Amino acid sequence: MDGYFWAVLTVGLISTLICIGAGARGYGPNDITILSVAAVELTLLVYLAGSIISSATGNGPAGPVWEFWGYLLTALVIPLGAVYWSLVERSRWSNFVLAAVGVTALVMTARMNQIWYGPDLARAAGLMG
């Protein structure tokens, strides 16, 4: 597991907890919940930049390149869709949609690590059976 994974883990879980808390209290989306998802997006953009630099210097994914970039680009689109949803649907339920972003980004980042480092390292890290 690399630092990018841990960054997404930390920011994603904090964002998820903030959004679940707001939804549970009956609040609609607000600056705090939307900015927490923006923090997840920013973390994923840093992941993107690091991946581009690493790939350009010859240290690319050990697994299928198309799959890694597909996961990363999808992970980057999900927060945008959730924020759009929360701006259109201003109910408390939108906070639960926003909460899903952090967990989804975390799962996708774990899969991207499996692809990047290959099955042997992923197995050693406990990511694969």
What pLDDT score does 67 carry?
95
Give the SS3 label for residue 30: coil
Q: How many domains does the chain have?
A: 1
Residue 20 lies in a domain: yes
* Geometric angle at alpha carbon 9, from 24 and 84, rounded to 5°: 55
Question: How many Å apart are CA 126 and CA 103, to the nearest integer?
Answer: 18
The answer as to whether 78 is a domain residue is yes
Residues 11-66 have pLDDT tens digits of 999 999 999 999 999 999 999 999 999 999 999 999 999 999 999 998 889 889 99
Give the helix ranges, DSSP H, for 28-92. Answer: 31-56, 65-88
Per the confidence metrics, is the pTM higher than 0.75? yes
* Structural domain includes residue 129: no
User: CA separation (Å) from 4 to 1, 14, 42, 93?
Assistant: 8, 15, 12, 29
Please report whether residue 21 resides in a domain.
yes
Q: Is residue 116 part of a domain?
A: yes
Instruction: Provide the CATH number for the domain around residue 112.
Output: 1.20.120
79 domain-assigned: yes
Q: Which domain holds residue 105?
A: 3-124
**Residue 72 domain flag:** yes
